[in-house]
Chains A and B, each alone.
Chain A
Amino acid sequence: MGSYFNQTPDEYIRMILRIGQKDADPTVKGLTFAQLTHGAPHLNMPTIPYVPFFDKKFPTKSGKIEFYVEMLVPYHQEICDYQEPIEATASNPLFKKYPLIFLSTHTRFRTHSQYTHLPWLEEINNSGQGFLEINPKDAHDRGIQDGDVVKIFNDRGILKVRARFTEGIKPGIVNCYQGGWDTVRVHQYIEGHPNNLTHQIANPAQSIIPNFRSNAAYYDCLVQVQREDG
């Protein structure tokens, strides 16, 4: 470690915040290092807790909170309403071929793909390997035993992991935790990746909303599961 970080913590703090310099960080502008480390100087921070829209200024066309959004009329989404999922619904003809809804939920042992191969967390979390949560009823219909390697697939791709029985998931739904790696060096699924299965169709209405990053619906995904021999 010492070979990479050869200065003291204090030196790094001075360096990063540029304390006492002209271009100092706004939070410490006008303060000296001695003031910051001794006594109780006031950082240049707001003194009132942050409350969103405290000033009642809303960045909408009308300047009000909009329950009816005029600009979404072209998309027929001007009012919050139920819409059929694009894929994961029983009325989809694809449902006959891929009768399971595939979720890729978060696990508390990582943040998306961060902290994925910290050895301590891997020890707790199934040695870092992914697994498919499946209701025993669905599994028995497919001749799958707890711990079997299973192939999860649809027209977009495949994922292979071991099955983990749980009554904590509703029959008709399966789940594999997202965020694992499938790189040249690190393989956290036996083969493939949950995101091989999901589609990337974003709601077109998202594209015109300011400051909103477009996102796909990862839980809108139909798959079939089968036992993988060997």
Chain B
Amino acid sequence: MLIHCTMDELIAIRDARGSKTAKEHLENCDECMMEMERLYQTVAAMKALPVLDAPRDRWDTISKQVVAERRAQNKSFFGWAGLAAAAVMALLVGVQTGMVSHQPEPDDRVVTLMEQSQSLENILREIKPHQKVLNGRVASTVVRIEDEIRLVDDRLSSMRRQRAPSVEDLEILWGERVRLMDQLVIVRSNRATYVRF
């Protein structure tokens, strides 16, 4: 009994990975050769489908959103810079009035933590998986960590509004931020982050 090539076999031959047996059959079978020809024609027709134009120009919406995101980032950066300056000022005032002992300098630790946080932000930007998308489980972890970071940022923002924020509190919050950013980098970089169907 003559066994014709299956669609899988025809596609495999077309893609140069077909079995020897299937290739030999194809060469000697008009019916399978015709099927192969149909396959080529279908793909050629797909490639020849008309090019479609997007019905609306989306650039205006995109550019507005990009500009808004950049403003928010700048605001956040300058907010942190202001917070750092406030922390250093508060410490200087403390030193001048003899309120601060000669223990390891907490402002140094805050500044170090801020630098660490900034470095982690840069790493995150570098590893941003633009060619990948997150699977559901990893995505929910990312969302949870990002929510926690937002909470820390809110608390840092409210401290910024205080006249003399506590350096110790700043250190705790920035330490927490670094810890969360570190987790985010690990999740983003180590996990196989592809969409799961």
Bind each other = no
* B residues lining the A interface (CB < 8 Å): none
* A residues lining the B interface (CB < 8 Å): none
